[in-house]
Every structure is written in structure tokens, then in C-alpha cells.
Amino acid sequence: MRVKCSTPARADLFNTHQDYKGLPVVAAALSLRLRVTGVRLDSSRIFAYSSTVGDAYEFDVDDLSFTGGWVDYLKAVLRALRRRGFPLTGFELVVNSEIPIGSGLGSSGSLVVALTGFLSRLFNYGLSPKDIAELAYRAERDELGVPCGRLDQYASALGGVLLIETKPPYRVEQFKISEFYFIVADSGERHSTKSVHSARQSELRKAIQLLLEKLLPPEVQLKLQGDLSSVKWSLLTEEELQPHLDELPAALKKRVLFTLKMQHSTLRALNILHALSSTPSQMLLKELGAVMNEQHCLLRDLYDVSTSRLEDLRQQLLEAGALGVKITGAGLGGCLVALVSNKEHGVRILKRLEASGAAPQLWLLRLDSGLLCTSSS
């Protein structure tokens, strides 16, 4: 039996850098896809090849030590499956991807979801899309040690525009929106998601530690208890943390303010998305674009994850007529996602930017479905 699985890229539309804090995030699946194709073998050997990067690996199903390279994502998925008691034998697979690596479009999340879905179909595990998303998250977070949240894996597995609640029971709400179009512009700058996330999370933990040393009211102290995902961010206000915020080092103060302001901004975006689900309109699209612009400014000014290259490219997109433009992904490089009114509007903007040579790569993308798997004899 030959199994084929594919997964989409994703843009994190709202509440970027908030999923690892246990806050809800909004993502959109985009029409760039990663594909995994393969068959089961009557042996314990695994053969894995990526036509995208040109690397091939062969190893035994019992040899799941990390060695570097993209194959570690496969081994992380295999470890996560084995840890949960799923049986494994040999197989071969080929990975091919349209999603640029390290660009802020969720390439690693798409990969682990596609691999998990492929193995579920190949070995008849019967995992649901949400099961696959959670297991893929565990593979990337717990096995590989990437300090990510659940946004990438859930967006890739489920598709469309969705709200992801990143605290148990990890509720997902899919908005009834089908006609979103985006321009994605690749800056050509590359980043390490792991290093960006690790640095910002470390700063935020230090800020919380310093705040807990202050003479805060007991009810505020309780809101700040626990790890980053346990802090009750949605209940905290700037007012109750003042004047102690001003006593923090400037960078740490900005990380706290970013978290609070980004969450409040996302609540406005959710109201607009609910309205768009029932009554699509250009006015609502413009309002949504305005919130995207606001969130980009927060990412730039309070989380320090923009670059001069991203800012120049963003300005060109706005001048060409995009409704809203923001960083997608960890930042410090990668891609910008720009909301456009419709396909025709997007084509006009795309042609203008292509003519100016604004970016190494530009795509006009639509919303896409999530994980798709088929099998044939």
C-alpha cells in the first residue's frame, strides 16, 4: 500500500508569540503544501529522503538517536509514537515541500504533522486530525526540545482560519470563512525559531521573577504564579502591575507589555472574524487589516523581532495597497503576510512588487484545507 499525505503552510494571523504562554492564537492555512509519500517494508529498516534538501538517511527502527538534519523530525515523531505504545516496523518515504524553510510559514510544523499523518495511515493507527496535531506538537516540543506552542501543528492539521485555545482541552474553533487571500513576501533573511523563542521566553520568565519579588497585592501575585503557560495573562492588567513595571529593565518591561497588549488586540480581531463569518464585507476586512498592522507594531516595538529589511518590505506592501501587513512566525527574518481585498486586488499588488524586485519570493495564496491523506494499492 502506498500512502500520500500533504499539509499546508500557515500564517499566524493574530497573537503571534503567545501560544507558548497558554494564550489563544489565530492561524490561517495557506496554499503552499508539503508532501510525504511512501510504503511499508517487510523489515526493520527505514529509508527517508527529502527531495527538497537532497538528504537521504537509512537507519533501523530501534535507532532513534538524533544525528542532525531534517531526519531528526522523523525520529522525534517515531519516538513520540513509540512512547504512546504504537507499533512500528520498517518503511520508506520521500518528502517534498513548497514551503520555504525557516521563513515563518510553519515548515517544521507542517513536516511533523505530515509525518505523523503518514505513519497513522500507513500503520492504521486511526488518529484523528486533532490527535495528529497534538502528537506532532509533542514530538517537536518534548522530543526535539523546540520551545514552540501548538499553533503550527494544529493549523497545519486542521486547516482554514482557526482559533486555537492553547490550554487544555485545546479547543479549536474554525471560522466560516472561505475567500481570504494573502500575499506572502519572503524577506530572504533566515532565522532560528528555537533561538528566537528561547530568548524571548527567558526574558519573560526573568520579568515575572522580578515582579514576584515586588510588594504586589496577593491577588496579583496569584495571577503570576507558575510557568509561562500557567500565568493568568488574560486576567492581568497594566494598571495593577504599575508602578512595578517601570522598575524592570527596559527590555523586560516591553516583553510584559507586549503580552498584555497583544492579547487585548486579539480580542478585537476575534470580534471582527466572527462578524466576517456571518456577514462578509470590505469594511470588516479593512478593520481586520488595521489590527494586523497594530500587531506588527507590537512585535516590532515591544518584542524586537523585526528587522530593517522586513520594515522596508512591509512599507512597500502597504504602499501597494495591502490592507494589513505583519510578521508571520518568530520574526528576525522570514516572511510577512499581507491581507488583500480579493484575488484581483492581490494580483495587482503582486505585479507591482514583482516589477520592483521587492522580495526574493512572493506568493498570492488562498486559504487551504489541513492534512490530507490517501492510500492506493
Is 199 in the same domain as 148? no
Is 331 in the same domain as 202? yes
pLDDT tens by residue, 83-134? 999 999 999 999 999 998 877 898 999 999 999 999 999 999 999 999 999 9
Q: Tell me, what's the pLDDT at 32?
A: 96
Which one of 112, 143, 178 terminates a domain? 178
Is 165 in the same domain as 220? no
Any domain includes 187: no
Tell me the pairing of strands 45-50 and 2-14.
unpaired
Is 220 in the same domain as 271? yes
Q: Tell me, what's the pLDDT at 104?
A: 82
Any domain includes 51: yes
Q: Is the pTM of this model over 0.85?
A: yes
Is 288 in the same domain as 336? yes
* Location of C-alpha cell 529593565: 249
C-alpha cell at 172: 479549536
Any domain includes 151: yes
Is 158 in the same domain as 202? no
We report the CATH number of the domain holding residue 114 as 3.30.230.10
Q: Tell me, what's the pLDDT at 216?
A: 87
Q: Tell me, what's the pLDDT at 114?
A: 98
Is 202 in the same domain as 316? yes
Q: Tell me, what's the pLDDT at 169?
A: 86
Question: Cα separation of 153 and 135, whole Å?
Answer: 9
Which one of 178, 208, 234 terminates a domain? 178
Any domain includes 188: no
Q: Tell me, what's the pLDDT at 361?
A: 87
Q: Tell me, what's the pLDDT at 291?
A: 98
Domain count, the chain: 2
We report the CATH number of the domain holding residue 335 as 3.30.70.890
Which one of 178, 208, 241 terminates a domain? 178
Torsional sign, CA 285, 179, 293, 174: positive
Torsional sign, CA 9, 12, 18, 19: negative
Q: Tell me, what's the pLDDT at 41?
A: 96
Residue pair 74/8 in contact by the 8 Å Cβ criterion: no
Question: Cα separation of 155 and 125, whole Å?
Answer: 21
Q: Tell me, what's the pLDDT at 231?
A: 95
Is 214 in the same domain as 151? no
Any domain includes 149: yes
Is 332 in the same domain as 357? yes
Nearest to 114, CA basis, from 104, 102, 103, 127: 127
Any domain includes 138: yes
Tell me the pairing of strands 2-14 and 91-97.
unpaired
Is 216 in the same domain as 158? no
**In which domain, by residue range, is 62 found?**
2-178
Averaged over successive runs of 10 residues, the pLDDT of the chain (377 residues) comes to 96 94 95 97 96 92 93 97 96 95 88 98 96 96 88 94 91 90 92 82 96 90 93 94 92 97 97 94 96 98 96 96 95 94 96 86 95 93
Residue pair 303/207 in contact by the 8 Å Cβ criterion: no
Q: Which helix (H) or strand (E) holds 27?
A: strand 25-40
